[in-house]
Structure 1
Amino acid sequence: MDHPFLAKEPTSTLVLITPQNQFLDLRFCRNSITPRLVGGTAGTYIRTSTSGMRAYTLDALDPHPQNHLHSLRCQANGDIYETGVLPNPGSGTEDLTYEAVWRVSPVQPRLAVVLAYRGTHGQGVVVRVGSWCQGLLVKGKLITAERWQKLDGRWVRVMRLGNAWLPCGVACVDRDEAADKALWQGARYWREATGLKFVVEKVIGFGDRVVAGGDEWEVVERVQW
Structure 2
Amino acid sequence: MPSASISERRSIRWVPEPASEPTSTLVLTSPGSHFVDIRVLKLSYFKQPKFANDSSSTARIDWAFAGQSHSEKATTEGAASHGRWEHWVDSRSDDPQVDEGDMFPQPSGLVLEKGRGPHPTTGEITDYEETWRDLKIQSTDDEDKKCAIVLRTAGNNKDSIGMVVRVGSWCQGIIKSGGNLHVERWRWRSRDTYAPVSVGAIIGSEDDSGGWSVQTFPTESGTWERVVGMGRGTLPCPLTFKPEGLEQGQTTDVGDITWEVIERSEW
TM-score over 0.5 for the pair: yes
RMSD: 2.0
Q: In structure 1, what is the Cα distance between the partners aligned to 2:161 and 2:99?
A: 20
- Does the CA contact (< 8 Å) of 2:102 and 2:113 recur in 1? yes
- Does the CA contact (< 8 Å) of 1:122 and 1:140 recur in 2? yes
Structure 1: segments with no counterpart, 5+ residues: 176-202
Q: What is the number of equivalent residue pairs in this alignment?
A: 195
Q: Which residue of 1 aligns with 2:266?
A: 224
Higher strand share: 1
Q: Which residue of 1 aligns with 2:210?
A: none
- Does the CA contact (< 8 Å) of 2:185 and 2:226 recur in 1? yes
2:89 to 35, 42, 58: 58
Q: Which residue of 1 aligns with 2:69?
A: 45
- Does the CA contact (< 8 Å) of 2:40 and 2:63 recur in 1? yes
Q: In structure 1, what is the Cα distance between the partners aligned to 2:110 and 2:242?
A: 30
Q: In structure 2, what is the Cα distance between the partners aligned to 1:67 and 1:42?
A: 11
- Does the CA contact (< 8 Å) of 1:164 and 1:213 recur in 2? no
CA positional deviation for 1:92: 5.8
Q: Secondary structure of 2:239's match?
A: helix
Point out which structure has higher relative CO (alpha carbons under 8 A, 6+ apart).
2
Q: Which residue of 2 aligns with 1:5?
A: 17
Structure 2: segments with no counterpart, 5+ residues: 1-15, 47-51, 73-79, 140-145, 191-221
List structure 1 segments (4+ residues) > 4 angstroms apart after TM superposition: 88-93
1:108 to 132, 135, 138: 138
- Does the CA contact (< 8 Å) of 1:150 and 1:156 recur in 2? yes
2:185 to 105, 128, 147: 147
Q: In structure 2, what is the Cα distance between the partners aligned to 1:205 and 1:171?
A: 11
Does 2:253 correspond to 1:211?
yes
Q: Which residue of 1 aligns with 2:114?
A: 83
Distance 1:157 1:53, change over 3 A: same
1:98-137 paired onto structure 2 within 5 Å: 98-109=128-139, 110-119=146-155, 120-137=158-175
Distance 1:90 1:155, change over 3 A: closer
Does 2:33 correspond to 1:21?
yes
Q: In structure 1, what is the Cα distance between the partners aligned to 2:162 and 2:264?
A: 17
* Percent of aligned pairs with the same amino acid: 35
Distance 1:72 1:92, change over 3 A: same
Q: In structure 2, what is the Cα distance between the partners aligned to 1:18 and 1:90?
A: 32
